[in-house]
Amino acid sequence: MQAVADQVLIERIADGDRLAMQVLFARHHVRVYRFALRILGRETMAEDIIGDVFLDVWRQAGQFEARSSVSTWLLGIARNKAYSAMRRRSEDALDEEAAAAIPDSADTPEAALQKKSKAELLRRCLAGLSPEHREVVDLVYYHEQSVQEVSSILGIPENTVKTRMFYARKRLSELLKAAGVDRGWP
Amino acid sequence: MTNAKNPVPDPEDFELLLPWLATGRLEEREGARLAAALEQDPERARRYELVREELAETIWLNETSGAPSGRAAAQLFARIDAEGSAPRPLRRRVAGLAGWLRSASTRLGPAPRAWIAVAAAAVIVTQAGFLTALVVRNAAAPASYQTASGPQAGLGTGSFALIGFAPDATAAQIASLLQNNQASIVEGPRGGLFTIRLADRQLPREEVERVLARMRETSSVVLFAAPRQP
């Protein structure tokens, strides 16, 4: 139901309806921000990305052809802009804020085992996945994108989406096993 | 494509698709096939639980990763205001969508037609809201706004207020707030603020403050509310 409403919003935005833009922004900007934040690791940059993404929507709403859902379109734009911003930023510019966003791998498995719950450990291992794996996990689990939609956002074949997700989950199991939790899979 | 002799599914077939089964993003037929396989095999059901755990904790990680400040919204809409807009005719675009729905409903079978009907209902409801929004947008044109009775300068008689809505407020929440307080949007947004009519007559200042205080209590919907002179 919301997918249809999103497309209607885009129609209205294409007509220059600022209120429709506010509704679309309110509906999607937090998720777009979190997706960009996951890639960039810096809050200020992620906030800049949302502005750029939705300004593109304002300017290009008339070109939206509804071949994908609006959320997929937004995430695709956000990803392109985030990676462009990341390329502009040299590794030397990596500051404390970004460093703080990098998962802390200093804990030994024994230390990790001291975490109180399996859920907490699972979250820690999810955060320890590579950016490529974490990205596909976030797109599938959090952003609820289909195989086809992830394929569209990442620009990879659908079969690669499935196998990338599989290997991300496999890596997660390896991290958990290293931390002392054997899930019995794969 | 499952192998009855081997309870451990082929990754190509079963394991690969489990995450999308958990999020409900598989095609109906594929989802039904996997769901049936889960019911027949406790080991598969156990593995599906692993996926559901991953799903839950991924959502938790994202939901606790913070939210953008108001700076992003303020900057975006300032840029939009600076650019202005070049609206296209409303009726043509609405007619285009309605036409597509009509066309699609005649081409497809009964089940897709049912979904088209649902979609059409959603469009109608949304259009009703946006036809109102269009009036509001047109009213935001500099120096004047139009009512059904024709051009009119100023806000006329009554009690008015300026109101700013929270970026996360939904259209339904805003509509509910206005209805509960018998208010209506008559102008805006200008600088992110709307002008609302609280009453058709001039209310005592205390009464206006009382209504606005009640609105401010819904902080998830209202960021700012203050009296405005007509």
Chain-centroid distance of CA A179 in Å reads 25
Q: How many CB atoms lie within 10 A of CB B192?
A: 18
CB contacts of B95 in chain A (<8 Å) are: none
Task: Give the integer Cα–Cα distance in Å for B154 and B71.
Answer: 31
Q: Does residue A96 have a pLDDT over 60?
A: no
Give how far B41 is from chain A: nearest CA, Å: 15
Residues A122-137 pLDDT 10s: 999 999 999 999 999 9
Predicted confidence at residue B165, as pLDDT, reads: 80
- Across the interface, of B76, B126, B136, the residue whose CB is closest to A51 is B76
Nearest residue of B to residue A163 by CA position? Answer: B16
Q: What's the predicted TM-score (pTM) here?
A: 0.60
Q: What's the one-letter identity of residue B37? A: A
Q: Give me the DSSP letters along B126-169.
A: HHHHHHHHHHHHHHTSTT-EEETTEEE-S--SSEEEEEEE-TT-
Tokens at B79, concatenated: 């840029």
pLDDT band for position A83 (50/70/90)? Answer: very high
Pseudo-torsion of CA A17, A18, A22, A28, nearest 10°? 60
pLDDT of residue A74: 97
Joined together, the tokens standing for residue A49 give 């990305």
Predicted pLDDT at A91: 53
d(C-alpha B102, C-alpha B119), whole Å = 11
CA distances from A169 to A108, A117, A133 (A): 21, 19, 8
Whether A35 has a pLDDT exceeding 80, the answer reads: yes
- Strand positions, DSSP E, B17-158: 145-147, 150-152
Residue B154 confidence (pLDDT): 59
Write down the residue that tokens 């030397």 correspond to. A92
Q: Mean pLDDT, to the nearest integer, of A158-173?
A: 96
- Mean pLDDT score, A78-100: 71
Element housing B226 (H / E): strand B222-228
Is B88 within 8 Å of A14 when comparing Cβ atoms?
A: yes
Whole-number Å distance between alpha carbons of A92 and B167: 35
Amino acid letter, B143: A
Please say whether the beta carbons of A158 and A172 come within 8 A. no
Tokens of B161: 């207020």
B25 contacts A50? CB cut-off 8 A: no
CB atoms A119 and B46 under 8 Å: no
Q: What is the average per-residue pLDDT within A155-171?
A: 96
Contact B88 A20 (CB under 8 A): no
- ipTM for the assembly: 0.85
Structure tokens at B165: 């809505």
**Confidence at A90, pLDDT banded by 50, 70, 90:** low
Of A70, A71, A51, A66, residue with least CA distance to A143: A71
At position A94, the amino acid (one-letter code) is L
What are the pLDDT tens digits along chain B (230 aa)? 444 443 444 656 788 999 999 999 999 988 998 998 899 889 999 999 999 999 999 999 999 999 999 999 999 999 999 887 544 444 344 444 444 444 444 444 445 445 544 544 444 444 445 444 443 443 343 333 333 333 334 577 788 888 888 777 777 778 778 878 888 888 776 656 678 888 888 888 888 888 888 888 887 788 777 788 77
